Amino acid sequence: MRRKIVAGNWKMNLTKSEALSLYNNISSAENLAADVEKMIFAPLLFLDALKQNESGLIKIGAQNFYSEAAGAFTGEVSFSQLKDLGIRYVLVGHSERRVIFKEEDELVKAKVNAAINAGLKVIFCCGESLEIRETGTHISFVVNQLKNNVFQLPEEAFGQIVIAYEPIWAIGTGKTATPEQAEEMHEQIRLAVAQHYSNYLAEQTPILYGGSCNAGNAKELFAKPNIDGGLIGGASLKTADFIQIINSF
Ligand code: PGA
C-alpha cells in the first residue's frame, strides 16, 4: 500500500495569529483520517511559531528555500536554517516559483539536490501550462520536468521524493483537471519512474494531484488508482474544507 498524503499550501496568506489558529483548529479536529499523512506548507515567517506548536498529527513544511547552506544571498532562507528549526518537508518546483520568480530547471534541480542531501523530504511539483496541453505535448513536457529536475537522484534518494502533479491551468482557477485527465498523467508519471528506476520504486512513490482540488471533488480524484492524495491551495485555508479533503479517501 502506498502512503496517502494531503498537504496544504497556504501560499502568501494569513497573519501569524490566523496561521496558528488555523493550524490548531485543523490539528484538534476529532475525526481526522489516521491513515493519511497530513502536512501544511506555511509561509517561512511563521514556521518557527508553528513548529513550536506542532501537534505531531500535522507536519509543518516550508514553501521555499535557497540551495546554498549560507552566505551572501539577501532575502533568502537556506535549507540548513530550515533544518535548524526542525523542518523536514519542503516544496520544490511549484509553478508559482517557476513562472513568477523565474526559477529555471537548473535552480529547481539544485534545490532538489540540496534538500535531499540535507536529509529533507521533497514534494516535487510538476505540471504543464494550458498552451502546452493544447498542443497535446503535456505528457512529454511533464516527463521532461522529471528528467531535468529529479531523475539525477540515485535510487535511494529518489525514495524521499513525493511528486505533485499540478497543471498550471488548474491552479487557483477553479478549473480542476477531470479525474480522468489527472489519472492519465499520474499513470504516465509512474511509468516514467518505473522506466528510469524500477517498478518497485514506481509503486512506492506517492503522486499527489493539485489544482483547484476541493472538498467537492477530492473524493472522485482520490478514488483513482494512481492518485495518492492532494496538494491543496485555496481549500486548505478553510478548516472544514481541508478536514473534508483529508477524509476523502
Ligand atoms: P489551488 O492551489 O488548490 O488553490 O489551485 C494548489 C497549489 O498551487 O498547490
**CA 168 to centroid of ligand 1, rounded, Å:** 9
State the total domains in the chain: 1
pLDDT class of 195 with cuts at 50, 70, 90: very high
Residue carrying the nine cell digits 489516521? 34
Q: Which of 232, 236, 238, 242 to mutate to test the pocket of ligand 1 (most atoms within 8 A of CB)?
A: 232
234 lines ligand 1 (CB under 6 A): yes
**CA 230 to centroid of ligand 1, rounded, Å:** 9
Mean pLDDT for the stretch of residues 28-54: 96
pLDDT digits (tens, 9 = 90+) for 54-98: 988 999 999 999 999 999 999 999 999 999 999 999 999 999 999
Geometric angle at alpha carbon 162, from 173 and 55, rounded to 5°: 90
pLDDT at position 140 over 90:
yes
Under DSSP, the state recorded for 191 is: H
**CA 71 to centroid of ligand 1, rounded, Å:** 32
Report the CATH number that the domain containing residue 33 is assigned in CATH.
3.20.20.70
pLDDT in the model for residue 172: 87
The enclosing H or E element of 107 equals helix 105-117
Domain that holds residue 198: 4-246
For ligand 1, atom 3: residue with the closest CA = 233
Q: Which of 37, 96, 166, 183 is catalytic?
A: 166
